Structure 1
């Protein structure tokens, strides 16, 4: 295994671009890292420069990585090489808890076998659809009147607590720090009320996927989510970001929303999040 340096990370980003949509999550991490977004990850490959497996894992030299949930992700072009890496190399720290996110669900049997051989427990955290926008011509933009357009804004640090409290995976200090990082360093979009407070919003994760879409209950049914998704998608595309999202399989409302705006899906592909050593 080899840990990539700054120059190699830029080369790897170009390689992963050719493997979209399945490489989106690792590509998104590298996209952010290569544009100087804060990161607590290190990136390693099985061989260089012709790698078949690329892994993002917490950087043991980064003190902030210890404060966050241990998140790992990878992209693999060869399951046998992936199995070898996970079995014979020290690619992952199997002695502690970690959350493996956004991996190809077809690898689940192999991952379960490898973890079982190591006597490490595992469970499926969530199974998701990967939706993406190949280019801006696919985007179907809803009509927005001037009054609503005047209320489209961006989130700032005074909104961290509100977003964290309403986030499905937030509500604690770890969530607060995560949201603070995202609002500070990545694009966000919101619709405000008459007092300038957000009533609906969407953020971008540190792997550059759109997410944390939420509308306060008393403001639902007004089409705010559709406006936010289309506004954010256009902005991301204009700024060169990848435009994609992960949607949990049971979230049919969001799935239909993104599909209605022109997002497409690789029909044979599912992504998953697994917990190990929980």
Structure 2
């Protein structure tokens, strides 16, 4: 069966998802960030496989990426592949023929279930992006040391501004194709912690964002400003902000990106072998 949760049921769901961390980190923070903002952002519908949440095994969150609710991202987490498969087939929340679908985000055992679902629905061969693996903070001392590094005087550190959403959108689109509406980046900058290093012209040259899934991401440094440790400093400072607010600092990394793995390991993050893959139609 498939059941759509009401707002008053979300706190109980969050308690269960919290018990499943780190495997459920992505779903946990997507639901948590939505709930604390009255489902205004991220705006999601949540479906589960049972009305008895103590027996819960599978969760589907449909994230509406724009204010018109026409562009969707599907997010999955499960502890039972067969029950997730049933949930996906029964619910009418997924319409691959008519929906303007951005992507499917899957954690761990949900990856194969979603891939087979898309095959059964005779979709055009989806592009798999990833897998990405969760790196969680393991050494606070290394983060604090990195955050204390001094940047050259002609640079400054401050949050991103909404007008900079186009930087994130263009960077992401160039790397992975169009996965998100630019509005989703505007909302992230408005609601989530962000930091950037600005040059003397007050232009961001390096930036990082705590995304709707709770991870530090969309990290990027313009080519002319690389090899100065900017990304490490920004990540470390955002990590401190997350710790101060009682959150779990974590990052999603493609292990084939050895430079990113090395960078984040050096500043205190540890791979916990939690997989996430995206499918883009």
> Please, which of 246, 254, 258 is the counterpart of residue 260 of structure 2?
254
Residue of structure 2 in register with 1:77 after alignment: 79
Residue 133, structure 1, aligned to residue 137, structure 2: yes
Residue 226, structure 1, aligned to residue 232, structure 2: yes
> Please, which of 116, 119, 137 is the counterpart of residue 119 of structure 2?
116
| Residues paired across the two proteins, number | 271
Secondary structure in 2 aligned to 1:208?
Answer: coil
Distance 1:136 1:205, change over 3 A: same
Distance 1:196 1:120, change over 3 A: closer
Deviations 1:47-85 (A, max 9, x none): 13221111101469x85321x3x2111111111211222
Distance across 1 between alignment mates of 2:178 and 2:85: 35
Residue of structure 2 in register with 1:14 after alignment: 15
Residue of structure 2 in register with 1:199 after alignment: 205
Residue 189, structure 1, aligned to residue 195, structure 2: yes
> Please, which of 45, 50, 53 is the counterpart of residue 47 of structure 1?
50
Residue 30, structure 1, aligned to residue 31, structure 2: yes
RMSD of Structure 2 on Structure 1 (CA): 2.8
CA contact (8 A) 1:140 1:262 kept: no
CA contact (8 A) 2:64 2:73 kept: no
Residue of structure 2 in register with 1:4 after alignment: 5
CA contact (8 A) 1:164 1:176 kept: yes
Deviations 1:91-147 (A, max 9, x none): 52233463211421x444443333333333443233112112268467453142375
Q: Which moved more, 1:189-198 or 1:207-216?
A: 189-198
Distance across 2 between alignment mates of 1:115 and 1:224: 40
Unaligned runs of 5+ in 2: none
CA contact (8 A) 1:139 1:262 kept: yes
Unaligned runs of 5+ in 1: none
